[in-house]
């Protein structure tokens, strides 16, 4: 049985497995985050994967700025989550930035708390999301890996990859 067509782009989901960029320096990473922000919609969840120092928070900062966030965006590692006000798709949104690095797993009680950040009027970025992956429905994934000390390989999967390909 074949998967249903991707309703967002009118294409079969298998046609857009991922988009990949190589030799991405910090300026290019910020520019890519701005492009991603341009296709985000309320309710979207973006998972950021990569080792320490790969650019996850840099990506979120640039996307948040493009989404109209005026506050300084900082890593929420020791607070779990931070919320900001912005706009996406012409609508006011809450931009949530979560960092699950210090969590080893989520139980049912934690999952209920996580739902507060996955609201239909929010865009949520999650760093170190492994403890929550099974709770997320159709997240977009941004994978960052070092190529050199100054460049990264960036792979985009999920709804944002399909939207970027169609834009």
* Domains recognised in the chain with CATH numbers: 41-154 (3.40.50.300)
- Cα angle 126, 32, 65 (rounded to 5 degrees) comes to 65
> Which residues in the chain belong to E strands, given as ranges?
5-6, 11-12, 19-24, 45-49, 81-88, 91-99, 122-127, 140-148, 151-157
Alpha helices of 76-118 — where are they, by DSSP H? 108-115
Q: Report the pLDDT value the prediction gives residue 17, as an integer from 0 to 100.
A: 65
pTM here is 0.83
Q: Report the pLDDT value the prediction gives residue 15, as an integer from 0 to 100.
A: 45
Q: Which residues of the chain have pLDDT under 70?
A: 1-17, 77-78, 102-112
Q: Report the pLDDT value the prediction gives residue 147, as an integer from 0 to 100.
A: 95
Q: Report the pLDDT value the prediction gives residue 8, as an integer from 0 to 100.
A: 39
Q: Report the pLDDT value the prediction gives residue 58, as an integer from 0 to 100.
A: 96
Q: Report the pLDDT value the prediction gives residue 90, as an integer from 0 to 100.
A: 84
30: left (phi over 0), alpha (psi -120 to 50) or beta: alpha
Q: Report the pLDDT value the prediction gives residue 102, as an integer from 0 to 100.
A: 63
Q: Report the pLDDT value the prediction gives residue 7, as an integer from 0 to 100.
A: 36
Question: Could you give the 3-state DSSP secondary structure of residue 165?
Answer: helix
Q: Report the pLDDT value the prediction gives residue 6, as an integer from 0 to 100.
A: 37
Helix H or strand E encompassing 160: helix 159-166
Q: Report the pLDDT value the prediction gives residue 105, as an integer from 0 to 100.
A: 53
Q: Report the pLDDT value the prediction gives residue 130, as an integer from 0 to 100.
A: 82
């Amino acid at each position: 049985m074949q998967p249903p067509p991707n309703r967002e782009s009118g294409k079969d989901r298998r046609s857009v497995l991922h988009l990949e960029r190589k030799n991405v320096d910090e300026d290019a990473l910020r520019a890519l985050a701005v492009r991603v922000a341009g296709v985000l919609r309320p309710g979207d969840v973006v998972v950021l994967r990569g080792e320490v120092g790969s650019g996850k928070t840099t990506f979120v900062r640039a996307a948040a700025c493009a989404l109209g966030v005026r506050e300084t965006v900082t890593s929420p590692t020791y607070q779990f989550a931070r919320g900001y006000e912005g706009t996406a798709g012409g609508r006011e949104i809450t931009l949530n930035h979560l960092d699950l690095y210090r969590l080893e797993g989520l139980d049912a009680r934690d999952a209920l708390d996580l739902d507060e950040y996955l609201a239909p009027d929010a865009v949520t970025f999650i760093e170190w999301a492994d403890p929550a992956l099974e709770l997320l429905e159709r997240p977009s994934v941004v994978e960052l890996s070092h190529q050199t000390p100054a460049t990264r390989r960036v792979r985009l999967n999920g709804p944002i990859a399909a939207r970027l390909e169609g834009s």
